[in-house]
Structure 1
Amino acid sequence: MKQTYIEFRNRSGFGDIINNYFLFLKYNFKDYSSLYLRYNAISIILTIISSYLLVTGFMGLASKDFRFGMGSNVETESYFFAGAIILFLVIFVTSLINYSFSSSYVAQYVATNGNVESKSIWKQIIKNIGDIIILIIVGGLMYFIYLVISLMISFIPFLGFIAQYAMSFTLSAIFGLTFMSMFSKNKGFSSAISEGFNFTFNNFLKVIGYGLVIGILNLMITALILAIPGFIIGIYAYFSIESNVDLVGNTFSTLVFTLGFIMFILSFVYTQALTQVAFGVLYFNLFELKHNTFLQEKINQIGLNE
């Protein structure tokens, strides 16, 4: 059965762009997710290991009686800090991989009318690795500036809160659109980030509104993923407290909370990848609005056929 192809290169309105994103997920969720798991298999394993170390170390410190098989407070702390450091690095690297993977997937999807191949995605990531590293460095500096400004305006009631979120959505849009520029048009770092800034600030309200809506919808997806494990953990914690069970000193409790934490991290990383897919859909719309290339191609084809 032939896969339904969703065309992103249209001069669509705000609602149609969001609709295209969900139509894409409707028809390509299985294929996208299977490739996602292949690219994230190692990071998922490392996430499980680091989450176990982090939760076990934390609960060991909280219990203060070391009933986790650890011999000393130093060993308990080493579990906690090792887990935290490894988890941070894993999430950081995984996020970069998923930005690249999602960008390449959407770019290949449009270029091949939906016939995406894993090898093509990997080749494109390797081809752009230098520009990706530069973007990481520049992005780190921009994010540091964002944190400083956020701290300064956090004391302003309400307006400071709104400004923080506006800056956050703006940064996300710039990075998302820059990645798409790299992978869809094979642009270098300077040209790609220039286009990312241009698209973001020339369509500021549209981009911010789109980021807000997609953020809320993806948050709902995360909530749905976590609903069942969250309910189970809540019920377990409630009855454990009612029965005076020592939650922090119980091996089974450690396992339950570790599984819950793993589900939270994995769902967070996955929805982050979906957010980049959404920015991919937005990128092709903004590119067509500015350059009108796809519409012109269709007009030229009609002229040739006549």
Structure 2
Amino acid sequence: MNKPYIELRNRNDFGETINTYFLFLKYNFKKYISLYLRYNVISIILLVVASYLLVTGFMGLASRDFRFGMNNDGDHTIYLIVGAVVLVLILFISALINYSFSSSYMAEYVNSEGNVAPKNVWQKIKNNIGTIILFIFLGIGIYIGYLIVSIIFAFIPLLGILIQYGLSFLVTAFFGLSFMSIFTDNKSLGLALSEGWQFTFLSFWKLILFGFVIGILNLMLTMLIISIPGFIISIYVYFSLESNVDLATSVFANVIFTLGFAMFLLSFLFSQALSQIAYGVLYYNIYEQKNNVFLRNKIEQIGVNE
């Protein structure tokens, strides 16, 4: 049975927009996740490698004897440094892939009315790769600016926390909407940023509330994913301590902690991709509210048929 096409270009209110997001996931999650894993397989492998280096380095340092003249043979500091460098690079590349893939998928979904062709998704990414890279670097600058402003507001009790959360949702939404703008009409960086800025403040409070709700839902999903390895690790640590096992020197413990840490990072990256799916739904909703293109075309078609 063919799965129904979920029309995203409607003038929906807040509740209907959230419902549209869940309907989209309900009917397209399996196909989306299969393509997501195909595009991220190398990143996943490298992320596991980075997790292994970090965990090995940390556990190696934890097992050291720091008394004068006493030391382990290997210097595990290099593992931490290399692991941290690899992790930063992978997170950067994964962010690029997640935002690009999710945005391209949503644009292709709307253009093809649900018949998403994987080659078209990849082609959209290739056609906009220059703009994507520039936008990612610009996004890093924006995020650094956000961190500086957040630190300043952190000194203001209560109000500062509310402003921090508001800025977080605002920056995330602006980034997500601008990314969608790139893939919808192959816009240049300047035009995409301009449209993203307009859309951000066109439905400001709806956008803030939308980011809050989606953030909570994605956090719940992340906690659900990491609860399984977290439970396994907790049980293992408990019985290991009961059996006087030295966790810092245990190879099996190293493997368990590596997989647990990797699962945590992977769940974070996947929630990032789902967030961009949500902002894709929101983008088409705001676009239709502003331009009224889809509804006008439907009315014109009805007039022609009559």
TM-fit CA distance, 1:245: 2.1
- Asked whether the 8 Å contact 1:65–1:249 carries over to 2, the reply is no
Q: Supply the distance in 2 between the matched residues of 1:297 and 1:206 (Cα, whole angstroms).
A: 26
Q: Cα offset for 1:173?
A: 0.4
CA distance in 2, matches of 1:224, 1:139: 29
Number of residue-to-residue matches in the alignment: 301
- TM-score (normalised: structure 1): 0.95
Preserved CA contact (<8 Å) 2:96 2:133: no
Q: What's the CA shift for 1:7?
A: 0.6
1:187-266 maps to which residues of 2 (within 5 A)? 187-266=187-266
* Equivalent residue runs for 1:79-118 within 5 Å: 79-118=79-118
CA distance in 2, matches of 1:71, 1:165: 47
Deviations 1:228-285 (A, max 9, x none): 1111111111222233322222111111111100111111111110100000000000
For 1:194 and 1:135, the matched residues in 2 are separated by 13
Aligned partner of residue 79 in structure 1, secondary structure: helix
Alpha-carbon distance between aligned partners in 1 of 2:160 and 2:106, rounded to the nearest angstrom: 35
Residue in 2 that maps onto 1:135: 135
Q: Which residue of 1 aligns with 2:73?
A: 71
Matching residue's letter, 2:264: F
Output the aligned Cα RMSD.
Answer: 1.3
Q: Which residue of 2 aligns with 1:18?
A: 18
Any gaps of 5 or more consecutive residues in structure 1?
A: none
* Structure 2 residue aligned with 1:181: 181
Give the aligned residue type for 1:301. Answer: Q
| Matched AA of 1:240 | S
Contact 2:181 2:192 in 1 (8 A): yes
CA distance in 2, matches of 1:56, 1:295: 57
- CA distance in 2 between counterparts of 1:63 and 1:248 reads 5
Q: CA deviation at 1:65?
A: 5.6
Q: Secondary structure at the match of 2:247?
A: coil
Alignment correspondent of 2:69: none
SS in 2 for 1:11: coil
Q: Matched residues in 2 for 1:71 and 1:278: separation?
A: 50
The aligned amino acid for 1:54 is L
How big is each residue's C-alpha offset from its partner over 1:111-130, in whole Å with a ceiling of 9 and x where there is no partner? 10101111111111111112
* Distance in 2 (alpha carbons) for counterparts of 1:65 and 1:6: 61
What is the distance in 2 between the residues matched to 1:133 and 1:226? 31
Following superposition, the deviation at residue 81 of structure 1 comes to 1.0
- In structure 1, the partner of 2:281 is 281
Contact 1:105-1:116 within 8 A present in 2 as well? yes
The one-letter code matched in structure 1 to 2:235 is I
Question: Structure 2: any 5+ residue segments left out of the alignment?
Answer: 67-71
> Which AA in structure 2 matches 1:26?
K
CA separation in 2, counterparts of 1:155 and 1:243?
46
Which stretch has the larger CA shift, 138-147 or 193-202?
138-147
Matches of 2:55 and 2:218, distance apart in 1: 26
Structure 1 residue 139: deviation in Å? 1.6
Letter in 1 for 2:106: V
* Contact 2:54 2:79 survives alignment (8 Å): yes
Does the CA-based 8 Å contact 1:52-1:258 persist in structure 2?
A: yes
User: Quick one: which amino acid aligns to residue 182 of structure 1?
Assistant: I
Residue type of the alignment partner of 1:247: L
Normalised by the length of structure 2, the TM-score is 0.95
Question: Which of 288-297 and 245-254 deviates more?
Answer: 245-254
Partner Cα separation in structure 2 for residue 79 and residue 28 of structure 1: 40
CA distance in structure 1 between the aligned counterparts of 2:140 and 2:255, rounded to whole angstroms:
35
Runs of 4+ that moved beyond 4 A: none
Q: Taking every aligned residue pair, what percent have the same amino acid on both sides?
A: 58
Match of 1:166 in 2: 166
Q: Residues 291-302 of structure 1: matches in 2 within 5 Å?
A: 291-302=291-302
2:125 aligned partner: 125
